Amino acid sequence: MTKDLRINPDRMLGAFNQLALIGATGDGGVNRPTFSEAHLAARQWFREQIEASGLEFHTDGAGNHSAVIPVVARERSDRSNLRHDNGIASSQKTLLATTPTLLLGSHLDSVPSGGRFDGALGVMAAFEVLRTIKDAGIKLKFNLEAIDFTDEEGTLVGLLGSAALAGRLSRQALQSPRGGRPALVEGMKRAGLSEESMLSAARPKDSLAGYLELHIEQGKRLERAKIDVGIVSAIVGIASYRLSFIGRADHAGSTTMEDRLDASLGASAFTLAAREVVMKDFPNCVVNAGKMEFEPGAFNIVPARVDLALEFRSPDEEEFKRLDSVLMERAKEEAERFGLELGIEFLGRHSPSLMDTKVQHTFADVCNDLGLSHMSLASGAGHDGQSFDGLCPVGMIFVPSADGASHSPREFTAWPDCVNGANVLLQTVLRLAG
Ligand code: GLV
Ligand code: MN
Ligand code: MN
């Protein structure tokens, strides 16, 4: 009975723990920014795990790594009783293009000094779901693919691999990535990729049957409510800008306070103002000044320039646009107030996206059948599912994050919760593709 099928928790934990050693920071976290040595090592490890499992391995021009159960190859292998665990690259290309594929995935990259669950759990759970289905010999109506997407976290671009696969990666995004063009170019080179290969990773829309992801919540709602599973209703939109407040370098001792054109004042005043505006007028949104770089940057020089890394998020498109213009207007006002010039560099935007209703209902039915409590919630974090908005049905589930900690080595989810999430993913795949 496929209804009784469950993933192998020990096998998934073994893989998860091995992965957490790659780029381990010694405090429970991992440091695997996109295309770093640790990130590439994690991907190599994943490739070896896939090949050892007898699943088919696939990679593309964006560096996405996948385990695949292709419908046709399995039928062929059933007939001939042959294994197809290697040498599939060319036949699979045709396959993936002609038979719709249900993607399950997440990402193996991390933020700098991040946690070991963000992304890694989703990839390991997806991989475990495929292994379980393969071992059970179940036939599905779609190709099934467990994918590790390149640069979900945005240390370089953000949702890079998924946007490339969805055919939504623009040359512009590669020209002015938020992590800086030199870091992107150097990273792609290290990974054996290029701008052209990135753009070639697009798959036809009709080849996508859907995208499902398991992730940790990265907030406290599930833990507080003592709920097992969160069914995601929507993912926030995310915009990033570099704001440059430009003044004039002067002697920090002999220049009077009145005479200074101090770039730090504009940047600081804007940061405080942005917080106030959002808290007062945009209660569903958040804003973050994640980094400020001072030039020349010395104790005894009035700052001539501050580059501020700005990010803001909203679950609603209209509100998102309104917040964008309010923040840009406010940045201009604060710059003017301190006699500064303002440079605005737009670094990319992912629209808010709604999750598929049918998939949400299926997740809920599966939770009910598994005796798991569930609630609907919106995601304040960005996820690769946003790249597939409008292209195919997208669904996500969350499992509780201890103390809501994330993007930090403190990130933790109890293993039984991870196993629950993987079983919900497995049973949902069987219902949608069985
Ligand atoms: C990714 O985790 C993001 O939301 O920044
Ligand atoms: Mn993530
Ligand atoms: Mn993250």
Per DSSP bridges, beta strands 208-216 and 101-106 are parallel
pLDDT at position 99: 86
Local confidence band at 106 (pLDDT 50, 70, 90 cut-offs) = very high
* Predicted pLDDT of residue 434: 85
Quick: pLDDT tens for 117-127: 999 999 999 99
Is there a contact between 177 and 33 (Cβ–Cβ < 8 Å)? no
CA of 110 to the centre of ligand 3 (A): 7
How far is Cα 370 from Cα 133, in angstroms, rounded to an integer? 18
Is 381 near ligand 1, meaning CB less than 6 Å away?
yes
Q: Report d(CA 36, CA 20) in Å as an integer.
A: 15
pLDDT, tens digit, 9 for 90 and up, residues 199-251: 999 999 999 999 999 999 999 999 999 999 999 999 999 999 999 999 999 99
Structural domains of the chain in order of their starting residue, each with its CATH number: 2-235+355-433 (3.40.630.10), 237-350 (3.30.70.360)
Place of tokens 């995208």: 211
Residue 86 pLDDT > 60: no
Which ligand 1 atom lies nearest to the CA of residue 153?
1
Instruction: Convert the pLDDT of each residue in 396-423 to its tens digit.
Output: 999 999 999 999 999 999 999 999 999 9
Q: How far is the CA of 153 from the centre of ligand 1 (A)?
A: 5
Average pLDDT over residues 9-13: 98
Q: Supply the pLDDT for residue 74.
A: 47
Distance 86 CA to ligand 1 centre (A): 34
pLDDT digits (tens, 9 = 90+) for 359-400: 999 999 999 999 999 999 999 999 999 999 999 999 999 999
Question: Residue 90: is its pLDDT beyond 90?
Answer: no
109 lines ligand 1 (CB under 6 A): no
Instruction: Tell me the residue type at 54.
Output: G
Ligand with smallest separation from the Cα of 158: 1
159 lines ligand 1 (CB under 6 A): no
Better-scored residue on pLDDT, 95 or 45 = 45
pLDDT band for position 73 (cuts 50, 70, 90): low
153: Cβ below 6 Å to ligand 1? yes
Mean pLDDT of the residues in the chain: 94
Sequence-distant (6+) residues with CB within 8 A of 37 are: none
Identify the band that residue 85 occupies on the pLDDT scale cut at 50, 70 and 90.
Answer: very low
Residue 174 C-alpha from the chain's centroid = 17
% of residues, the chain, pLDDT over 90: 93
382 lines ligand 1 (CB under 6 A): yes
Closest CA to 334 of 308, 299, 301: 308
3-state secondary structure the chain: CHHHCCCCHHHHHHHHHHHHCCCECCCCCECCCCCCHHHHHHHHHHHHHHHHHCCEEEECCCCCEEEEECHHHHHHHHHHCCCCCCCCHHHHHHHHHHCCEEEEEECCCCCCCECCCCCHHHHHHHHHHHHHHHHHCCCCCCEEEEEECCCCCCCCCCCHHHHHHCCCCCHHHHHCCCCCHHHHHHHHHHCCCCHHHHHCCCCCHHHEEEEEEEEECCCCHHHHHCCCEEEEEEECEEEEEEEEEECCCCECCCCCCCCCCCHHHHHHHHHHHHHHHHHHHCCCCEEEEEEEEEECCCCCECCCEEEEEEEEEECCHHHHHHHHHHHHHHHHHHHHHCCCEEEEEEEEEECCEECCHHHHHHHHHHHHHHCCCEEEEEECCCCHHHHHCCCCCEEEEEECCHHHCCCCCCCCCCHHHHHHHHHHHHHHHHHHHC
Query: Which pLDDT band holds residue 76 (cuts at 50, 70, 90)?
Result: very low
Nearest ligand, CA 236: 1
Q: Express each pLDDT in 254-271 by its tens digit.
A: 999 999 999 999 999 999
> Which ligand 1 atom minimizes the distance to the CA of 382?
4
Residue 91 has pLDDT above 70, yes or no: no
**Better pLDDT: 73 or 71:** 71
Please tell me the distance from the alpha carbon of residue 249 to that of residue 306, in angstroms, as a whole number: 11
